[in-house]
Amino acid sequence: MSAPLLSTHGLVARYGDFQALYGIDFEIAAGEIVALIGANGAGKSTLLKSIMGLLRVAPDMVKLDGRPVGGTKPHRIVAEGVAIVPEGRRLFVGMSVIDNLRVAIDHAGRPAANGWTLERLYGLFPMLKEKQAVPVQSLSGGQQQMVAIGRALLSQPRVLLCDEISLGLAPKVVKEIYQSLPSISEAGTAIVLVEQDIGLARATSNRLYCMLEGRVSLTGRSAEISREAIGEAYFGGAHAVA
Ligand SMILES: Nc1ncnc2c1ncn2[C@@H]1O[C@H](COP(=O)(O)OP(=O)(O)OP(=O)(O)O)[C@@H](O)[C@H]1O
């Protein structure tokens, strides 16, 4: 792998007295798609929140371009080029598609030269153009997810963190959304995918990390890791994975 764009180093994270992460070493290079899998409560969302500055972590525990950024405020991290598509999407209900997208344009970290514009986004998800005046709450779950991804892209991320973007969506819509990911990563954006569907995670990613109870239990190239190894790392024992 080329030099990591984003990395974590012995990252620990707590919610009050409860320790959720125990020394996570993670890295992703420009243009890579890396999946993060693990059972409910393994710590996947906590890792994303720690990277985004939503939880207190020490500066050296998160590095962007090799520079310590741990604990940097979320809006500064976005300006540095990291964006998140949060679990549950968190769109601005009552606002139209275009107004949800404009919020991201207004807060974009860097100018859009060679970056994501509305036009380029409409090429990726034509639905966004058709529905631009529609309040987001009237959209289907899949369409809302496209708004959430679009909003994240318009902040011009170099790293895009996606937290369970397939959750609750019909298989056809999941396919459509996942088909958009290579064209995002091919332009150099690194994508971290938290995904419950292990088959989908493996098929979509270059590398994967499996988490178990706040630790990395397995990592490697997705195509080279066996189902048996994933089953063991996922459950902490010898279990088969479909
Ligand atoms: N706000 C919080 N306060 C206290 N504990 C929390 C909080 N959020 C998460 N946790 C705990 O931290 C641990 C890791 O949770 P996290 O949400 O990161 O897991 P996850 O792998 O993303 O799982 P899921 O698939 O359920 O989202 C769990 O034990 C969870 O109960």
Across all residues in the chain, what is the average pLDDT? 90
Mean pLDDT over residues 70-97, rounded? 87
Residues 6+ apart with CB under 8 A from 205: 33, 34, 35, 193, 222
- 90: tokens are 């968190």
Domains of the chain: 6-235 (3.40.50.300)
With a 6 A CB cut-off, is 141 part of the ligand 1 pocket? no
- Strand, coil or helix: 69: coil
% of the chain at pLDDT higher than 70: 94
The Å distance, Cα 19 to ligand 1 centre, comes to: 10
Average of per-residue pLDDT across 198-204: 92
Per the listing, tokens 């088959």 go with 199
State in Å: Cα 131 to ligand 1 middle. 34
Evaluate: CB of 41 within 6 angstroms of ligand 1.
yes
pLDDT of residue 153: 92
The model carries a pTM of: 0.92
**CA neighbor of 163 nearest in space, from 194, 201, 209:** 194
